[in-house]
Amino acid sequence: GAGVSQSPSNKVTEKGKDVELRCDPISGHTALYWYRQSLGQGLEFLIYFQGNSAPDKSGLPSDRFSAERTGGSVSTLTIQRTQQEDSAVYLCASSLGTGGASRQFFGPGTRLTVL
């Protein structure tokens, strides 16, 4: 497909477990964003990757959250020692250019439920 894909679509885990969420951006897109959307809330920025530059991690809520992007393409968001408040939909987006002018293409999201 030509769009942004995310896996898994749904993830149920127990409190204290680690989870990994994957994002495949659109081929050729240099920018990749992770957001968190809690029930009834807007999108909370988590982290931003642009090419080979150091990522902007300013939105990560705690040191339990980390992300990497391998080869400038696929990205993995890892949440360690999950808590119930981590339950949310995690959205990934990619865009062509740098800066805020480029529109973002969003994936379908991963719904994370922490029991």
Partner 1 sequence: AQKVTQAQTEISVVEKEDVTLDCVYETRDTTYYLFWYKQPPSGELVFLIRRNSFDEQNEISGRYSWNFQKSTSSFNFTITASQVVDSAVYFCALSGMNTGNQFYFGTGTSLTVIP
Considering beta carbons, is residue 2 or 14 the nearer one to partner 1?
2
58, 63, 70, 84: which one binds partner 1 (CB under 8 A): 58
Task: Report, in Å, the least distance between residue 18 CB and partner 1.
Answer: 24
Binding mask 63-82 for partner 1 (x = CB under 8 A): --------------------
* Stretch of residues binding partner 1 (CB under 8 A), selected from 20-28, 29-37, 64-72, 74-82: 29-37
Distance CA 76, CA 12 (A): 17
Considering beta carbons, is residue 73 or 105 the nearer one to partner 1?
105
Applying CB under 8 A, does 1 fall inside the site for partner 1?
A: no
Handedness of CA 6, 3, 30, 35 (dihedral sign): negative
List residues binding partner 1 (CB under 8 A): 31, 33, 35, 40-43, 45, 48, 50, 56, 58-59, 89, 91, 93, 98-101, 103-109
